Structure 1
Amino acid sequence: MRSGTLIQLCAGRYYQGSGVLSHLGEDAALLGTRVWILADRQVWPKVEQAVTSVLTEHGITWQVHLFSGGCCPANYRAAAEAGRAFGADAVIGVGGGRALDAAKIAADLMEVRVITVPTSAATCAASAWLAVEYTDQGAFVGNYWSRYPPFAVVADLDILVRDCPPRYNIIGFVDAMAKYPEISYNILHSGQWEQNTFSHSARLLARSTYDLLLSSGGAVYEALEQGREDPMTEDCICAALQLTGLISAMACGGKQAAISHSLYSYFCTCRPEIRSRFLHGELVGASLVYQLAVNGAPRTEQEALDRFLRRFELPACLEELGLADTPEEQNSLFAFLAEHMPIADPRELERLRTQATLLFHGLK
């Protein structure tokens, strides 16, 4: 790494297991006595009693700001303004990726620390230093780097295993799996990666996470359907929540994203009607087989990922998202990639386009 480079590491405290929500009060008390809770409106009723009771037990005064929509200025600024008026010493974010990212930005604007309580294993936002920001209309803006990473992550399996639809967790696994092929692509083609111990370690850890989730996802899904936790389920949840956040840190955030996450930004910006019908991991996963192919991965690897996606009836190509393969759509899509991906060689975009049939229609 270059001298003077800032390395964004992950949360210093990570709790995972049944009943670990009890640590929430202890950690909040380390930060102060007044806590501003930014919570997803849909999931808050499920966890309200558990969260507020443990805060009360530790002498914490709290108020709740209910969240809906995206991580956008209208949401995080309103939360920050209300939190400052309350005199909060800390923020607790409760929910999925959008709520947790909004909580991280709100805490940064308030100049306080944030604790995250994920309600599914569908996001590394709980642990990642960065937050992904969108406009109030839902278009992709970019990565927001706060002053500090989350102070703590509290991943209670009573919530993640027994009170979250199993499909949501599997979709989150797919998003976590994207790190390996995307980081691999960027190391080869983006021109923005130095070959150093951080990029090398990020790729190795991303590959390990990819292999774990690919091989164990089916068994974990069955365990989740039964509300059962076992060592493999715990490993996969940790990989999706914490290890993927660590990978993001070592990949310096934006340098983890390549084609698949860039296409997600395309959907947000240019095809909001598609974005509104699918979850983040579904949109990212729809181009992952293509991502492997343009990386030069063997056909057997592409087929294994395709089988994984289809086992859970997840989109495996753009056609299955409802995106038509027309010259106009291709022109728009690849022009967006050219603008938003730091491709070192201009000829690379043409190489990507030669496999557009796979991108739109999948393996045949």
Structure 2
Amino acid sequence: MAKSLTAPARYYQGSALLSQSYRYVSHLGRRFAIIADHLVKDLVEERIEEGFRDAGNACVFLHFNGETTLGEVARLTALICEENCSGIIGVGGGKAIDAAKLVGDTCGLPVVIAPTSAATDAPCSSMAVLYSEEGAFHKVQKLKSGPQVVLVDTEIISKAPVRLLISGMGDAFATYYEARACERAGVQNYTGGVRMHTSLTLAELCRDLLLKYGYQAKRDVEAKRDTQAVENVVEANIYLSGIGFENNGCAAAHAIQNGMTAAIKPFAALHGEGVALGTLVQLIMEYNECGRWNQSEWNQAVTFYRKVGLPLSFGHIGITDADDLLLDKIAKASVTPDSKAHNMPFEITQEKIFTALRQLRDMGL
């Protein structure tokens, strides 16, 4: 089987990039449909119009309703067909980004992604997550290609709520541990190939940047400062995590997050917060399986979580009644036949996940 590596065609990161947006996308065409919700439109409209001024303001905003469902993708696709556009720009958080990717894939148009936070690693991947009308995880859909351009304006990201940056750190921190599990299991990555040394190295670098700069980046975003620490963590959250998960694979951490969204409705935690908790559960299962607790690795993770403010318990994500019945429900929803939990390097069962969930609960972290 061939080794494989995928990445967005072009990635740009820096301050005030949206005010120069047409410069970075002009090779794709002249007129663009911009998919964003009302709050994001208010935030970026002036900047994007400034960036498109030299092109005669050749852009049109289309409203995203906030949930990436099959119905919303179909609605936006129909609107795009009415516009004479040469490309799509998805602006906002993970769901708006995924909606833009799905619409572009359907219409056969190039896609530009401009995240307004560093809350997820969705911008760089050639995959998109679909949800049910109730907001529960539905499925991950592979796309024909990844984004042609990823445009990361760190001036905007540094002024976003700090919770979003922290959530992104939770999503990104899982990247290395899930990559390591997938390597040990020998499973294919999301491109259908074998991971390269490059892939695991990027995932490891992602973790190391978070450990080194995560706390300072959190403090800087709390003060609305765009600093080098923020730039480093944004690179980890968006680029390294995105490239890392797609070229290595996901495992139990994301499966447990998906299980929680299915078992708990509504699920109040952000994606990265749920993944962060799932990472701890994954580590517990690994330690249980090998019969040896890696205290050094565990302490490193727990210390990092405490410093940056990631959840260490179910109570930290608003689950105050994590009794055995609920934990068993989460475990069952996490181990469906198509679950990424089966990418772990040992047999995964509902009982193993339930045991690890209960161990985390009983630690009282």
Give the alignment's TM-score, normalised by structure 2: 0.87
What are structure 1's unaligned runs of at least 5 residues?
none
Q: Give the paired residue count.
A: 352
Q: Determine the C-alpha separation between the residues in 1 that align with 2:135 and 2:174.
A: 22
- Indicate which of 252, 258, 263 corresponds to 1:265: 258
What are structure 2's unaligned runs of at least 5 residues?
288-292
Matches within 5 A, 1:188-207: 188-189=184-185, 192-193=187-188, 198=195, 200-207=197-204
Specify the alignment match of 1:292 in structure 2: 283
Matches within 5 A, 1:42-81: 42-81=39-78
Q: Determine the C-alpha separation between the residues in 1 that align with 2:118 and 2:327.
A: 33
- Indicate which of 193, 213, 216 corresponds to 1:216: 213
- Indicate which of 158, 167, 186 corresponds to 2:163: 167
User: CA 1:166–1:332 in structure 2 vs 1: closer, same or farther (change >3 Å)?
Assistant: closer
Residues 1:332 and 2:332 are matched in the alignment: no
Q: CA deviation at 1:77?
A: 1.5
Aligned 8 A contact 1:40 1:66 in 2: yes
Residues 1:92 and 2:76 are matched in the alignment: no
Identity of aligned residues (%): 26
Q: CA deviation at 1:107?
A: 1.0
Matches within 5 A, 1:129-140: 129-140=126-137
Specify the alignment match of 1:359 in structure 2: 360
Q: Determine the C-alpha separation between the residues in 2 that align with 1:11 and 1:19.
A: 21
Specify the alignment match of 2:123 in structure 1: 126
Residues 1:18 and 2:15 are matched in the alignment: yes
Specify the alignment match of 1:177 in structure 2: 173
Residues 1:302 and 2:298 are matched in the alignment: yes
Specify the alignment match of 2:38 in structure 1: 41
* Worse overlay, 354-363 or 30-39: 354-363
Q: CA deviation at 1:304?
A: 2.6
Aligned 8 A contact 2:260 2:333 in 1: no
Aligned 8 A contact 2:214 2:229 in 1: no
Q: CA deviation at 1:170?
A: 1.7
Residue identity opposite 1:222 in structure 2:
R
Q: CA deviation at 1:74?
A: 1.9
Q: Determine the C-alpha separation between the residues in 2 that align with 1:361 and 1:152.
A: 45
Specify the alignment match of 2:316 in structure 1: 320
Q: Determine the C-alpha separation between the residues in 2 that align with 1:357 and 1:270.
A: 16
Any runs of at least 4 consecutive aligned residues in structure 1 with deviations exceeding 6 A, and if so which? Answer: none
Q: CA deviation at 1:137?
A: 2.5
Q: Determine the C-alpha separation between the residues in 1 that align with 2:301 and 2:210.
A: 11
Specify the alignment match of 2:290 in structure 1: none
Q: CA deviation at 1:200?
A: 4.3
Q: Determine the C-alpha separation between the residues in 1 that align with 2:47 and 2:175.
A: 33
Q: Determine the C-alpha separation between the residues in 1 that align with 2:225 and 2:329.
A: 45
Q: Determine the C-alpha separation between the residues in 2 that align with 1:323 and 1:200.
A: 42
Q: CA deviation at 1:48?
A: 0.8
Residue identity opposite 1:356 in structure 2:
L
Aligned 8 A contact 1:71 1:99 in 2: yes
Aligned 8 A contact 2:20 2:48 in 1: no
Q: Determine the C-alpha separation between the residues in 1 that align with 2:155 and 2:61.
A: 22
Q: CA deviation at 1:136?
A: 2.3
- Indicate which of 82, 101, 105 corresponds to 1:104: 101
Residue identity opposite 1:318 in structure 2:
F
